[in-house]
């Protein structure tokens, strides 16, 4: 059974994380160095998050439909995304296993991987604050 019951839950937790990161005074400038637009396409439940991380434009996060044109598309189960943000997915292994698929200049995203470690505890805390410790423990 999938961790999230519908797309709204995906947006409520993973989407909110992206929104928070986009205005994080420490992390946002680092992410914007990627200078790209990434779209995360999730299955089970079907959902989509598009994130603009451009050096010369304001960060933007669209939950669901978007008019942004993504340069990189990452496709995965929503469960895989959830586990990633809990720090429990090795991206290189997930790509090799086909748990994550990447289209476009993937190196732009891979270089962010070392930067996201401080985000893992933030995500756990965010879930705990929302009363969803079950989502922390289930993965």
The smaller minimum CB distance to other proteins, of residues 63 and 80, is found at: 80
Q: How many CA atoms lie within 13 A of 134 on its CB side?
A: 6
Site membership for other proteins, residue 102 (CB under 8 A): yes
Least separation, in Å, of the C-beta of 26 and other proteins?
15
Instruction: Mark residues 112-131: x for contact with other proteins by CB under 8 A, - for none.
Output: -xx--x--xx--x-------
**To 5 degrees, how large is the angle CA 98–CA 102–CA 106?**
130
Which residues does residue 44 pair with via DSSP β-bridges, in sequence order?
A: none
The smaller minimum CB distance to other proteins, of residues 54 and 124, is found at: 124
Residues between 37 and 66 that touch other proteins (CB under 8 A): none
CA distances from 54 to 9, 92, 105, 108 (A): 27, 24, 14, 11
Site membership for other proteins, residue 5 (CB under 8 A): no
Least separation, in Å, of the C-beta of 23 and other proteins?
22
In total, the chain counts a number of residues equal to: 139
In angstroms and rounded to an integer, the radius of gyration of the C-alpha atoms of the chain is 14
Which residue ranges make up the site for other proteins (CB under 8 A)? 72-73, 86-88, 90-93, 95-98, 101-108, 110-111, 113-114, 117, 120-121, 124
């Amino acid at each position: 059974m999938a961790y999230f019951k519908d797309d709204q839950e995906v947006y409520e937790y993973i989407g909110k994380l992206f929104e928070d990161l986009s205005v994080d005074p420490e992390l946002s400038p680092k992410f914007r160095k990627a200078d790209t637009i990434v779209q995360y396409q999730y299955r089970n439940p079907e959902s989509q998050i598009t994130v603009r991380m451009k050096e010369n434009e304001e960060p933007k996060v669209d939950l669901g439909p978007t008019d942004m044109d993504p340069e990189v598309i990452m496709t995965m189960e929503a469960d895989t995304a959830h586990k990633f943000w809990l720090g429990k997915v090795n991206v290189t292994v997930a790509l090799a296993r086909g748990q994550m698929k990447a289209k476009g200049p993937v190196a732009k995203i891979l270089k962010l991987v070392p930067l996201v470690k401080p985000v893992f505890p933030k995500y756990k805390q965010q879930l705990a604050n929302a009363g969803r410790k079950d989502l922390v423990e289930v993965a």
